[in-house]
Amino acid sequence: MAYWLMKSEPQGFGIDHLQQRGIALWDGVRNYQARNFLRQMQAGDQALFYHSNCKVPGIVGLMTIVKGGYPDPTQFNPEHRYYDPKSTLDQPRWTGVDVEFVEKWSEILPLSALRDIPELEDLPLLQKGSRLSLMPVTMAQWHAILAHKPNA
DNA sequence: GCCAACGTTGGC
DNA sequence: GCCAACGTTGGC
């Protein structure tokens, strides 16, 4: 069982969308480093849902991986914005996973607060210039974050 | 909306 | 294989 942090823009697909849907395909990842992490994900892994590129970026809730890495279907659809003409059914380039909603936090745990947690010093999210959209989280980092989960 | 940092593309 | 140009990410 592994821990992850996954970013999404709330205006596109946010925690509220996932809560409504229950289970959703995490698609559209078109970065090789992130893709390689998706391939490592397994059913039962836990993940933090992070809102990026918005007014207050930060962690907003939890989810579980319910289906490990499999070919992201959007890469094969010419009509889709995530279509990749270089991808074939035989040799798919891109991977997706299915995630299931676990909980939405009562408040966001903002990026600015994450920067104040010493255990997170090495988290890629907090490195200057990092654009990695999903990343592994160590058990120590996971527990440090959950210890700061807002509860109002 | 700005813009620095980043990843990818493609000519050479 | 180099690297300039380009498009994208994402905090602010």
CB atoms within 10 A of CB A5: 22
Taking the CA atoms of A142, A143, A148 and A152 in sequence, report the sign of the dihedral they define. Answer: positive
In a domain, A49, yes or no: yes
In a domain, A108, yes or no: yes
Instruction: Express each pLDDT in A79-94 by its tens digit.
Output: 888 888 888 888 899 9
Nucleotides of C under 7 A from a protein CB: 8-12
Residues 101-130 of A with CB under 7 A from strand B: 128-130
Q: Find out whether A73 and A27 touch, Cβ atoms under 8 Å.
A: yes
Instruction: Express each pLDDT in A34-58 by its tens digit.
Output: 999 999 999 999 999 999 999 999 9
pLDDT at A17: 97
Q: Which nucleotide is nearest to A133 (CA to C1')?
A: C9
**Mean per-residue pLDDT over chain A, rounded:** 95
Strand B contact at CB of residue A31, distance < 7 A: yes
In a domain, A151, yes or no: no
DSSP string, A81-132: TT--TT--SSS---EEEEEEEEEEEEEEEEHHHHTT-GGGTT-GGGSTT---
Give the total number of structural domains in chain A.
1
Domain coverage including residue A38: 3-146
- The residue that minimises its CA distance to C1' of C10 is A53
Q: What is the CATH number of the domain that holds A14?
A: 3.10.590.10
Mean pLDDT of the region A121-143: 96
In a domain, A152, yes or no: no
Q: Find out whether A99 and A23 touch, Cβ atoms under 8 Å.
A: yes
Give the HSE-up count for residue A18: Cα atoms under 13 Å, Cβ half-sphere.
30
Instruction: Express each pLDDT in A6-38 by its tens digit.
Output: 999 999 999 999 999 999 999 999 999 999 999
Q: How far apart are CA A33 and CA A40, in angstroms?
A: 11
Q: Find out whether A24 and A13 touch, Cβ atoms under 8 Å.
A: yes
Query: Among A90, A37, A89, A31, which residue's Cα sits nearest to residue A68?
Result: A37
